[in-house]
Amino acid sequence: MPASVLDDVSHRRYNPLRGSWILVSPHRTKRPWQGQQEAASGSTLPKYDPSCYLCPGNKRAAGGINPQYDNTFVFVNDYSAVKEEQAEYHPPDNDGSLSSLFLRAESVTGKCYVVTFAPSHNLTLADLAHQQIVSIINTWATLYAAHLSSTSSLSQIGAATTLPPASPNHDSVRPKVQYRYMQIFENKGAAMGCSNPHPHGQIWTTTSLPEEPAVELEQLKSYNREHGGHHMLEDYARLESDQRERIVYQNSAFIAVCPWWATWPFETMVIAREHKRALTDFSSSEKEQLAEVLSEVTRRYDNLFETQFPYSMGLHQAPLDGSEEETQCSHFHIHFYPPLLRSATVRKFLVGYEMMAEPQRDITPEQAAERLRGCGGVLYRMKMNAEQ
């Protein structure tokens, strides 16, 4: 079937990264839209908010005082989802009973950090200067290296470091135990559950390997074994670079695409072109190029509907502590999951069929990529400010 036919017929697409399928219904985009059209929204937030618990010099929710930081600032989350120390739990022996079969649990400990991206309360990744984003990436890399297992081959490149608690920009120390995985992520916007508009992300480290990266890692390992040592995302990046129709932005080190199997309307994935296992594999030049791609993707998001575009963004990379096969088969990539569908207020919900059967989308990834490619250039808020 010619690829062009898929623009008009319902079909399923395979996601090799998860081993799952998604239903695509492009003909539904021809439905008449009678919803409202929103005007461009400017930023109404101040540069500094005295009531914000993330602004420099302010008191945090649990009582700590932020330093007068001028770059990124890291501190241990005052309300962490996992704790370093807690009462011990030992699962009962599997005795073949129904309880041991169905009522399973395991203890998880960890450490959670908050990473403020910049001191300004009213700036997002889309607003930040290039070097400010590079600083964020360097902070991610430093924290990742600080938590690496000494037995990981990655520790030979990014030697584990200790972040002194007295550092003005870091309230963190070497963990008390070795954690299995580090999830770096950002929730932007109230639609994604973000409780504070000050630009920030989070880092959760846990003794367990979480479900999503675990599923991907199994797929990456299988591909590597079944295709003569090739790496799935390196091959996929090469394919997308050749076909070009799903590319949003690219440079010599990274490619940002609306993946063939995307679930969310304007979902994108940033992929390292060469096989890079984690942040510690990147040179200074590659970190500069990653910052460029992050700026381009987030700016195009905001320009698309001329609004503060909400999303959940997360980095997937090698486990902190894993087998050599897990480390070598990991491939650094970033997922952006944005909910907006038609406008600044009309969003997609994963409900009904998508909860009970399988994910579904209307607009194709090719159509989404074409629209995002056309949203480059100056951030719309800067144009609005210049016209006022």
Distance from C-alpha of 26 to C-alpha of 7, rounded to nearest angstrom: 6
- The residues annotated as belonging to the active site are 200
Angstrom CA distances, 386 to 42, 127, 131, 276, 381, stand at 12, 15, 23, 41, 9
What is the number of other CB atoms lying within 10 angstroms of the CB of residue 119?
A: 22
Residue in 48, 179, 201 with CA at minimum distance from that of residue 114: 201
What is the number of other CB atoms lying within 10 angstroms of the CB of residue 239?
A: 11
Distance from C-alpha of 169 to C-alpha of 159, rounded to nearest angstrom: 20
CB of 66 closer than 8 Å to CB of 196 = no
Residue in 82, 23, 9, 7 with CA at minimum distance from that of residue 261: 23
Structure tokens at 97: 């009973």
Sign, CA dihedral 315-277-219-150, equals negative
What is the number of other CB atoms lying within 10 angstroms of the CB of residue 236?
A: 21
CB of 351 closer than 8 Å to CB of 12 = no
